[in-house]
Amino acid sequence: MTAQIIDGKVIAAELRARVADEVARVKRDHGLTPGLAVVLVGSDPASEVYVRSKHTQTQAAGMASFEHKLPADVGQDELLALIGKLNADPAVHGILVQLPLPKGLDTERVIAAIDPAKDVDGLHPNNAGRLAGGLPALSPCTPLGCIILTKSVHPSLAGMNAIVIGRSNLVGRPLVQLLLNENATVTIAHSRSRDLPALCRQADLVYAAVGKAEMVRGDWIKPGATVIDVGITRIPTAEGKTRLVGDVAFDEAMKVAGAVTPVPGGVGQMTVACLLVNTLRAACAIKGLSAPAV
Ligand code: GUN
């Protein structure tokens, strides 16, 4: 048996096209151009790649993109002042501060300074709390992407057994809440969980979000399960080059699972597409318009 490959590239492209259509509609009908501001502190090469991709895709969707690059040694107060300016700027509907921040900056304080209505990362305590309380909220983009990919295979997740491996604020915790909202039965596993393979084998839906290359093996997976791989690690190859791998041993999983996301070309593609969705949603909410149909 060979699993179905869930094509994040195709699904993300479809989502971006729907966002672009809705952006064109709100521009035409309401004179609203959604705007996203991305703040990059320092020059981490991976973060620079992400930020460039956000900029290009935001403009391609017809939205305004504002980039703010600050040196790694910027003071906390200067960064907070920039966030204050973006909070007050009517052309900006979404604010994203690229993480991780360089040492010396207080990530919690920076995130808390963002206007929750513009918090398109869904990391502000107001949004995290609202999501945990089952209330409408801006939710983190990678977990939203995971749900969309899962629903491409299973339109309803009600009653399914899901395991989320990893409990980060950016992925694991919000993903658990989104799965609960979809009426899945959720196990949260982490570095202290006992007998992870046995826990995993009970799951119809496996979400691997720990950042450990190929940790989830084929014999951890229940036959026919859907496997969503959030991990992305660069590892050296025998030929002296490098390649990207996920948290799941892909070739092994393909022999057991029903459906698997590849790395790259799976979850990664969805994160920026969902950021565009959140920016459009935030813009409509700030303008008092009904939620967009995406
Ligand atoms: N760094 C890696 N992923 C993310 C993300 O989703 N949001 C932010 N702000 N930083 C990240």
Number of domains in the chain: 2
Domain finish residue from 118, 149, 177: 118
Is ligand 1 within 6 A of the CB of residue 96? yes
What's the half-sphere exposure (Cβ side, CA atoms, 13 Å) at 64? 15
Q: Which domain holds residue 40?
A: 30-118
The pLDDT of residue 166 is: 98
The secondary structure of residue 240, as a DSSP letter, is: S
42 and 111 in a single domain? The answer is yes
User: Is 96 a domain residue?
Assistant: yes
Q: How far is the CA of 96 from the centre of ligand 1 (A)?
A: 8
- The pTM of this model reads 0.97
Determine the Cα–Cα distance for residues 61 and 23; give it in Å rounded to an integer: 7
User: Is 61 a domain residue?
Assistant: yes
Determine contact, residues 32/89, Cβ cutoff 8 Å: no
3-state secondary structure of 67: strand
Q: Is 29 part of the annotated catalytic residue set? A: no
Q: Give me the phi and psi of 152, to 5 degrees please.
A: -70, -20
User: Is 292 a domain residue?
Assistant: no
Place of tokens 């699993």: 3
Other beta carbons within 10 angstroms of residue 294's beta carbon come to 18
Which of 121, 127, 173, 272 most suits a substitution to test ligand 1, by most atoms within 8 Å of the C-beta?
121
171 and 109 in a single domain? The answer is no
Tens digits of pLDDT across the chain (294 residues)? 799 999 999 999 999 999 999 999 999 999 999 999 999 999 999 999 999 999 999 999 999 999 999 999 999 999 999 999 999 999 999 999 999 999 999 999 999 999 999 999 999 999 999 999 999 999 999 999 999 999 999 999 999 999 999 999 999 999 999 999 999 999 999 999 999 999 999 999 999 999 999 999 999 999 999 999 999 999 999 999 999 999 999 999 999 999 999 999 999 999 999 999 999 999 999 999 999 989
Q: Show the CA angle centred on residue 143, arms to residues 139 and 148, nearest 5°.
A: 105
151 and 113 in a single domain? The answer is no
User: Is 88 a domain residue?
Assistant: yes
User: Is 5 a domain residue?
Assistant: no
Catalytic annotation, pick one of 115, 119, 121, 229:
121
3-state secondary structure of 54: helix
173 and 252 in a single domain? The answer is yes
62 and 164 in a single domain? The answer is no
263 and 157 in a single domain? The answer is yes
